[in-house]
Amino acid sequence: MLSYGLYTANAAWFFPAMLLVIGSRYLAFQTLFGHRIYWLCGAALIGAGYLGASAQLGPAMLAFAGSGIEAAFAAILLMSGRRAAV
């Protein structure tokens, strides 16, 4: 809802706002699941959203940055889960 409201005010604010919202969600995941890596992922997404808004990066660049960050952390979590299972 927050991101849509910002989008109606200025379309360029949508992706930075979404990165901030998604990053904040990952900070809550640490409390739920107990993995400290969620703090790193949340901080990286929030940082990307802030830096992208500050530098006025285009939507495609911010979308790729956010998806790249999430894909990298997904791979890290997958590898750590497999090591724990062995």
Number of domains in the chain: 1
CA distances from 55 to 44, 52, 61, 70 (A): 16, 5, 11, 21
- Where residue 3 falls among pLDDT bands split at 50, 70, 90? low
**pLDDT score of 85:** 67
Q: Dump pLDDT digits (tens) for 5-26.
A: 776 777 788 889 999 999 999 9
Tell me: pLDDT of 31 over 90. no
Amino acid 6: pLDDT: 72
52-66 in b/e form (b: 16+ CB < 10 A) is: bbeeebeeeebbebb
In this structure, which amino acid lies at residue 43?
A
- Expressed as residue numbers, the domain containing 64 is 2-85
Say which residue, 8 or 52, is predicted with more confidence.
52
d(Cα 70, Cα 10) in Å, to the nearest integer? 25
The predicted structure's pLDDT at residue 13: 84
Those residues whose C-beta lies under 8 Å from the C-beta of residue 44, and which sit 6 or more positions away, are 23, 69, 73
Distance CA(49)–CA(62), nearest Å, equals 7
Q: 58 near 10, Cβ under 8 Å?
A: no
% of the chain exceeding 90 in pLDDT: 55
Rounded to two decimals, the pTM is 0.84
